[in-house]
Amino acid sequence: MKCSICKGAAGIRLPHFNLKLCNDHFIQLIHQRIERAIKKFRMFRKGDRILVAISGGKDSVSMWHALRRLGYEPDALFVKMGEVESIERAGEVVEKNVRLTGGRLWIEDGTRYFGGALPSEVARRLRRPVCAVCGLIRRYAINRFAVEHGYDVVATGHNMTDEAAALLGNLLHWNEGYLERQWPLLPKMEGGFAARAKPLALNYEEDIRLYAQILGIEYLDESCPFGLDATSRIYKRVLLELEREQPGVIAAFYMGYLRRSGVKQLSVVLTPCQRCGTPTTGDICAFCRVVERYEQLTRKVSLQSMGRGNMEENLKASQEAKLDSHERGSHERGNNQ
Amino acid sequence: MKCSICKGAAGIRLPHFNLKLCNDHFIQLIHQRIERAIKKFRMFRKGDRILVAISGGKDSVSMWHALRRLGYEPDALFVKMGEVESIERAGEVVEKNVRLTGGRLWIEDGTRYFGGALPSEVARRLRRPVCAVCGLIRRYAINRFAVEHGYDVVATGHNMTDEAAALLGNLLHWNEGYLERQWPLLPKMEGGFAARAKPLALNYEEDIRLYAQILGIEYLDESCPFGLDATSRIYKRVLLELEREQPGVIAAFYMGYLRRSGVKQLSVVLTPCQRCGTPTTGDICAFCRVVERYEQLTRKVSLQSMGRGNMEENLKASQEAKLDSHERGSHERGNNQ
């Protein structure tokens, strides 16, 4: 098998691009596609203050290495969700990688907004999916950190397969609001929103995994300890099935969406949240509403356990929680990254 | 299990509608959804001259029975594709069903445009997928028959699952032209296009199968002898997988498309085909181009077999056929029903 570019021995077959490549030209291809995403969507420039949201997984760690090889100088932020064993391991992996390449590693405690409670505990009490709660906390913590520390942009490790899966979910349920917000760059908003960029948006997930393997990049290959988001996993599985039968369909699907969408301006009017100042469409932002509800429910539980609660209160709280989760159902089905 | 409507014993569970039903109320539901499609998309009215394109399969046969039970008075057209055993069996099943309910059965010979050749032979010579060729012949033959015999509308048995699968394929490849033409009613066009309607478009495929079983409707449960369209089968398989995990997702997807599309007017300019008079975007319609090409290739083959062909001619013909199939590739990937 010969490399489609240099005609040397090729070890890598990429049916989705109809290419065979040697290791060097494969690495070059991944870098080119990252650079193309950064330039095409005007994500950031050399010299900008970039914060990589790093989890220890293949995507964010590979992106960290690629950005530094390409001459950008990002820092990294690791959001720690409690003293769970696999999170400790992820933290160690992240630390090693950052030490290898230079750059600063920040560590944030994601549980501090809920008095130290893990996302699984918060989710159980709110009767909402763990992934939705964990995602909300992470996005909030990362954005707040970036704004407070003066970063121009937050880079996340979403790859093209992730994005296509989210797109499929949003199309199946016609979540038009989310379709808009799925663009590879969400611009900065005055008042408290850092720009969010997805530099891996033009690379297949399996290519990112291969990139890490070829360069011997260490990453944590474990599922999230709080359980993966079952919904987006289904869409990804289905897309990979289609990809096996029609190599390139994921790229055709996602690139077609990009071509047809054009750069979107978010059309909603935002005002500062009355509690935390983050721009929001209502009076209080989604995150602060969750914090408030959690505090209410926690108070009710402790009243009960002190023997002062009664059946009626108990029932009312559970009904409210149900109603609340029902109202939000349609939002959670969409994948809001 | 109790019927969600009459509270009597229910034998049928419909997770996609979150309903349990007794047989009577299930039949009523299917009829209601057929009536709703007919009215919502203004397909036809009582007294209109309706032609059901009947194949012997569960969808077209069930539709035949439902329309007659609902007080419409359609006739049926069976397009016979050669003297193949399973087609003979389908013809017998169709005849029995029409005899049961009244109405007229027409039989058309779909092979007459190609000198008696079966779709598989035509497809092999043209180097195009059998399903694409067979679909083209059927659509052409049915439309021509309807126009020549003064029918107001042709009703086809496409169900919601078929339509959602086609929609998924068209979205994955962003075939916007086909997205427009997927509407449940294509209006009549002066000059030679009969209106085309899909009265089963609001019913799940599995519900139509159940409808036939409950009413003891006889149909042919066999695959098409010319091989099923592999591409649309993949999309259907994937959607059914999603449906198992998210009951109702097919309906949400398809109904969302209908809500967002509005009634489409086809924006293309059509003129009569110079050969057959059917409205077309070019000088000669797609069907007549295929006939012409087939005749050319057939002439070349018979010249060769008479010993007067030479290598050069042979090569040229095969190259032309290849080019031709390549050009049309993008069309065939879309599901043009």
pLDDT at A337: 41
- Closest-CA residue of B relative to A235 is B242
Q: Distances from the Cα of A266 to the Cαs of A181, A256, A269, B16, B180, in angstroms? A: 8, 20, 9, 34, 27
Residues of B in contact with A172 (CB under 8 A): 242, 249, 252-253
Q: Is the pLDDT of residue A331 over 70?
A: no
Query: Considering Cα of B93, then B96, then B98, then B101, what sign does the dihedral take?
Result: negative
If pLDDT is split at 50, 70 and 90, which confidence band does B251 have? very high
- Bigger pLDDT: A239 vs B85: A239
Q: How far apart, in whole angstroms, are the C-alpha atoms of residue A221 and residue A89? A: 11
pLDDT at A91: 94
Q: How far apart, in whole angstroms, are the C-alpha atoms of residue B297 and residue B303? A: 10
Q: How far apart, in whole angstroms, are the C-alpha atoms of residue A185 and residue A199? A: 9
| B329 class by beta-carbon count within 10 Å (0-12 exposed, 13-18 middle, 19+ buried) | exposed
Of A138, A177, A167, A157, nearest to A253 (Cα)?
Answer: A167
Q: Distances from the Cα of A252 to the Cαs of A11, A180, A274, A280, in angstroms? A: 25, 19, 43, 34
> What is the average per-residue pLDDT within A128-147?
90
User: Of A165-179, A225-239, B38-52, B157-171, where does mean pLDDT reach its minimum?
Assistant: A225-239
pLDDT at B314: 52
Query: Which residues have CB under 8 Å from B305's CB, separation 6+?
Result: none
Q: What would you report as the CA-atom Rg of chain B, rounded to the nearest whole angstrom?
A: 21
Across the interface, which of A238, A259, A260 has its CB nearest the CB of B242? A238
Report the SS3 class of residue B333.
helix
Across the interface, which of A173, A231, A259 has its CB nearest the CB of B256? A173
Q: How far apart, in whole angstroms, are the C-alpha atoms of residue A136 and residue A128? A: 11
Token code pair at residue A145: 């950190």
Interface confidence, given as ipTM, is 0.79
Q: How far apart, in whole angstroms, are the C-alpha atoms of residue B25 and residue B18? A: 14
**Residues B43, B37 contacting (CB under 8 angstroms):** yes
Report which listed range, A3-7, A281-285, B296-300, is most confident.
Answer: A3-7
Q: Is the pLDDT of residue A266 over 60?
A: no
Q: Is the pLDDT of residue B138 over 70?
A: yes
Q: How far apart, in whole angstroms, are the C-alpha atoms of residue B147 and residue B195? A: 9
What share of chain B in percent tops pLDDT 70? 86
Q: Is the pLDDT of residue A326 over 50?
A: no
Chain B residues with CB under 8 Å of a chain A CB are: 171-174, 231, 234-235, 238, 241-242, 245-246, 249, 252-253, 256-257, 259-260
Domains, chain A: 25-268 (3.40.50.620)
If pLDDT is split at 50, 70 and 90, which confidence band does A311 have? low
pLDDT at A53: 97
Of A273, A283, A277, A325, nearest to A128 (Cα)?
Answer: A325
User: Of A80-94, B75-89, B106-120, B215-229, where does mean pLDDT reach its minimum?
Assistant: B215-229
Q: Distance from A224 to chain B by nearest Cα, in Å?
A: 21
Element (H, E) at B332: helix B329-333
Could you report the per-residue pLDDT of A185-224, keeping only the tens digit for each?
988 887 788 999 999 999 999 999 999 999 999 999 887 7
- Closest-CA residue of A relative to B234 is A242
Query: In which region does residue A116 sit, left (phi positive, over 0), alpha (psi from -120 to 50) or beta (all else)?
Result: left
pLDDT at B273: 86
pLDDT at B183: 87
